[in-house]
Structure 1
Amino acid sequence: MNIAYLVNRYPTVSHTFVRREIDGIEAAGHHVHRFSIRAAPEDLPDPADRAERERTAVVLGRALPLLMTAARGAIGRPGRAWRAWRAGGTMTPPTLRGLVARAAYLAEACWLAAAMKRADVRHLHAHFGTNPAAVARMAHLLSDIPYSFTVHGPDEFDAPRELDLAGKIADARFVVAISDYGRSQLCRWVDVALWPRIVVVRCGVDLATIDEAAGVAEPDFDFCCIARLAPQKGLPILLEALALLGQRGIRPRVALVGDGPLRNELERGIERLGLGGQVALLGSRGGADVAAQLRASAAMVLPSFAEGLPVVIMESLAVGTPVVTTAVAGIPELVDEQCGWVVPAGAAAPLADAMARALATDAGVRARMGAVGRGRVAAHHDAHANAAALLKHMETA
């Protein structure tokens, strides 16, 4: 079966779970056509992502072919184009900017519908319930190719009405939540009759690939934090927690792997709090180096305010490293006191206490906690098993 995947920007360092999902589907004998609305970054650190970029078609790659395809689609099938345009009105605000976004979605959907028809695609799956799901819905209305989409959160849960999650779910053959918590949030916005359409397929990791990864870790760090440097990750709270630990005479070193819009703010916070010798901003790293940094740490710390269910927690537990994290969204479905330390979000003192407990915990106990976590990942977050579960839904659709 020919299957199409649509992501807003693919591949990126934070979307390796999509690549693993595609690998699992193709391992079952199907072919996946990759589509990205925007071009992937040029500076991808992981060789597997760089190879994936070459396999991915970019919807917004060239303006003239996009506009010509959109015009042909609208003129050739005006009734379907009108249906798609009307649906676009429920997914964009009634402003000039919203009108521009609506027109852009329709053009992208026309291009995607034509590309899928040429490839004899039988099913379209989008990741994220934001603009990828909007374009997928409109492409479905233009082509009759069934679609589904995966909702990760938290962005979708912050604006369910503005994104018209209810309309997207109603038109989809099925919708995927990555946790039970995520499914509960989607069920809030649709009629009870549509609840069976919302299924849970968890994100996964490839344990064999992680075990074989031969990366390099920066030495002499007690903790690592693998995160996009964005407000929802709560990283300024981590700096506050380190400052509180310093008042107790505890000065752990933290390797912060990732990049994003808060980098300058974090650099200023590190300087202001006198943490220059404790926190290193290492930037983005490839998967092998991330696995090595996780293995070299006493624990991985992630003080998020809002999440879906972070894949990096799965990766940390997969290498046997327990985690210090917050009780938000789907995280408590994977992490508890048997494999980590879970604290309230937004408060520096509980985070500092948990980090101190992690440092004081015997290495053998931490290893046993990591082993419990790895067992949970193997049971519920195996990439190939979860890809097979998703594929069954696609085949039924």
Structure 2
Amino acid sequence: MKLAYLLNTYPQTSTTFIRREIRGIEAEGEPVTRFAIRRWDKTLVEPTDVEEQAKTEYLLSGNVAGLLVSLLLALATNLPRLIGVLPLWWQVRTAAGDGGVRHIAALLEAIHFVRRARALGITHVHAHFSTNATTVAMLARRMGGPAYSFTVHGPEELDHPPSNAIAPKTAHAAMVVAITSFCRSQLWRWTGVEHWDKVRIVGCGADFAALEASRVEPLPGYDFCCIARLAEQKGLPVLVHAFDLLAQRGIRPRIALIGDGDLRPMLEREIARLGLGEQINLLGSRDGATVAAQLRAAKAMVLPSFAEGLPVVIMESLAVGTPVVTTAIAGVPELVDASCGWVVPAGSAEHLADAMVEALAVDPERRAAMGAEGRRRALAGYDVRRNAARLLAYLRACEGAAA
């Protein structure tokens, strides 16, 4: 097998789990060729992400001339397959129900990827998320490109799977990976029973060795931390509301909120309006060592999400022995329960505030027990090297079945 990964935008700060998975596979002795559709347009803070960007070949970013050359070559040498893929391409476009520009781009990217995969001898390509990159992999396969598989995470890609053409993508794939049992169940909802046995569960993984090696001093004075993109699905306005409820009770803990995103101006306004500037600090994006330090120092990591797959930061928090306060959504209850954290109804500032009060008051003996159980669960099921090896075994099995 000669393996490639095909991603939408890579690398970026919110997808470090993909970088860790790729490097975990390479540590097992399987080289990985990196492709992505787009280059991230923001500054990368992790040196390893900068290295990954240099290793990645981009299908769209900076490659308009390459796309046109590949199209002309396909028209001259691969016209029957190019015509043959159009019904599938139209099916994807119709399901999406939006404009045609990105779908035309996907077809051009697939044509180019077929040419590059042949030149490099790629025999299997794995994509993350069932969106653009998987569309490109599927169209490429129909034009004679390599077999493909893809990992489904959620939440957005599971909001309305028919518009994402999840059924044909599954039908044409050699394998589909779900990161949790919940994710698998949602895939089964939208795909034929005859394809259910294609779906394997391989969780995302955290790099626990790197966590152990990260030993910098935390920023002092915080009771909690929250590691999250400042995006709608993370439920951060509920966190602000919960801190306001705590202030009304005369309880004023402090939280370090690490991450950035489009909601930052709104959150800053709401924090200022409620007079919570001393309690909630928006620290922006930070490197992995700082994240690890804040996780270790916190009484609990708080993540009030509305929609998730299964956040890697929960695994990381548990791995360093810090309980979590989070919400009962998607795959989260597969990892977190009362033995290692507090699971509350999504959207309830009252329940979130109550859980933080409990986290502040928990006695040292119980906190140590919760930390030990959380660490045991994280290490047992979510080590990136172990899970990368499992995924690689499945990929090699696909290759063997195709042969």
Partner SS state of residue 164, structure 2:
coil
| Partner residue in 2 for 1:350 | 351
**Do the aligned partners of 2:96 and 2:164 also contact (CA within 8 Å) in 1?**
no
| Partner residue in 2 for 1:15 | 15
**Do the aligned partners of 1:4 and 1:34 also contact (CA within 8 Å) in 2?**
yes
Stretch deviating more after TM superposition (136-145 or 305-314): 136-145
Name the aligned partner's letter for residue 24 of structure 1: G
Give the Å deviation of 1:85: 2.7
Q: How many residues align?
A: 397
**Do the aligned partners of 2:21 and 2:384 also contact (CA within 8 Å) in 1?**
yes
Residue-by-residue CA offset, 1:201-244 (whole Å, 9 max, x unaligned): 00011211110013342211111110010001000000000000
Q: Does 2:357 correspond to 1:338?
A: no
**Do the aligned partners of 1:84 and 1:106 also contact (CA within 8 Å) in 2?**
no
Stretch deviating more after TM superposition (370-379 or 97-106): 97-106
Whole-Å Cα distance in 1 between the matches of residues 362 and 84 of structure 2?
Answer: 60
Name the aligned partner's letter for residue 101 of structure 1: R
Name the aligned partner's letter for residue 217 of structure 1: P
| Partner residue in 1 for 2:118 | 117
**Do the aligned partners of 1:45 and 1:286 also contact (CA within 8 Å) in 2?**
yes
| Partner residue in 2 for 1:65 | 66
Name the aligned partner's letter for residue 37 of structure 2: I
| Partner residue in 2 for 1:194 | 195
Name the aligned partner's letter for residue 361 of structure 1: V
Partner SS state of residue 342, structure 1:
strand
- Relative to structure 1, the CA distance from residue 215 to residue 73 in structure 2 (aligned partners, 3 Å threshold; closer, same or farther) is farther
Whole-Å Cα distance in 1 between the matches of residues 335 and 97 of structure 2?
Answer: 43
| Partner residue in 2 for 1:235 | 236
Give the Å deviation of 1:58: 1.2
**Do the aligned partners of 1:257 and 1:283 also contact (CA within 8 Å) in 2?**
yes
Give the Å deviation of 1:199: 0.8
Residue-by-residue CA offset, 1:123-147 (whole Å, 9 max, x unaligned): 1000001111111111111224100
Give the Å deviation of 1:89: 1.9
Residue-by-residue CA offset, 1:5-43 (whole Å, 9 max, x unaligned): 011111111111111111111111111011111103451
Whole-Å Cα distance in 2 between the matches of residues 387 and 83 of structure 1?
Answer: 35
| Partner residue in 2 for 1:50 | 50
| Partner residue in 1 for 2:401 | none
Name the aligned partner's letter for residue 209 of structure 1: A
Name the aligned partner's letter for residue 202 of structure 2: V
Stretch deviating more after TM superposition (193-202 or 359-368): 359-368
Whole-Å Cα distance in 1 between the matches of residues 313 and 95 of structure 2?
Answer: 38
- Fraction of identical pairs, as percent: 52
**Do the aligned partners of 1:85 and 1:102 also contact (CA within 8 Å) in 2?**
no
Whole-Å Cα distance in 2 between the matches of residues 139 and 31 of structure 1?
Answer: 21
**Do the aligned partners of 1:6 and 1:34 also contact (CA within 8 Å) in 2?**
yes
- Relative to structure 1, the CA distance from residue 216 to residue 51 in structure 2 (aligned partners, 3 Å threshold; closer, same or farther) is farther
Give the Å deviation of 1:256: 0.6
Name the aligned partner's letter for residue 313 of structure 1: I
| Partner residue in 2 for 1:166 | 167
Whole-Å Cα distance in 1 between the matches of residues 130 and 393 of structure 2?
Answer: 21
TM-score of the superposition, structure 1-length normalised? 0.97
Question: How do residues 214-233 of structure 1 correspond to structure 2 at under 5 angstroms?
Answer: 214-233=215-234
Partner SS state of residue 69, structure 1:
helix
Partner SS state of residue 308, structure 2:
coil
| Partner residue in 1 for 2:260 | 259
Partner SS state of residue 286, structure 2:
coil
Whole-Å Cα distance in 2 between the matches of residues 53 and 215 of structure 1?
Answer: 26
Name the aligned partner's letter for residue 46 of structure 1: E
Stretch deviating more after TM superposition (113-122 or 305-314): 113-122
**Do the aligned partners of 1:126 and 1:149 also contact (CA within 8 Å) in 2?**
yes
Partner SS state of residue 188, structure 1:
helix
- Extract unaligned runs of 5+ from structure 1: none
- Relative to structure 1, the CA distance from residue 95 to residue 157 in structure 2 (aligned partners, 3 Å threshold; closer, same or farther) is closer
**Do the aligned partners of 2:238 and 2:347 also contact (CA within 8 Å) in 1?**
yes
Residue-by-residue CA offset, 1:79-135 (whole Å, 9 max, x unaligned): 222233322222224799532222110111111111111111111000001111111
| Partner residue in 2 for 1:26 | 26
Stretch deviating more after TM superposition (67-76 or 370-379): 67-76
**Do the aligned partners of 1:140 and 1:146 also contact (CA within 8 Å) in 2?**
yes
Partner SS state of residue 313, structure 1:
helix
Whole-Å Cα distance in 1 between the matches of residues 317 and 363 of structure 2?
Answer: 18
| Partner residue in 1 for 2:86 | 85
| Partner residue in 2 for 1:383 | 384
- Relative to structure 1, the CA distance from residue 217 to residue 75 in structure 2 (aligned partners, 3 Å threshold; closer, same or farther) is farther
Partner SS state of residue 110, structure 1:
helix
| Partner residue in 2 for 1:317 | 318
**Do the aligned partners of 2:224 and 2:256 also contact (CA within 8 Å) in 1?**
yes
| Partner residue in 2 for 1:244 | 245
Whole-Å Cα distance in 1 between the matches of residues 365 and 37 of structure 2?
Answer: 47
Stretch deviating more after TM superposition (361-370 or 18-27): 361-370
Partner SS state of residue 341, structure 1:
strand
Whole-Å Cα distance in 1 between the matches of residues 95 and 170 of structure 2?
Answer: 21
Partner SS state of residue 143, structure 2:
helix
Stretch deviating more after TM superposition (28-37 or 332-341): 28-37
Residue-by-residue CA offset, 1:42-63 (whole Å, 9 max, x unaligned): 5111111111111111111221
**Do the aligned partners of 2:305 and 2:346 also contact (CA within 8 Å) in 1?**
yes
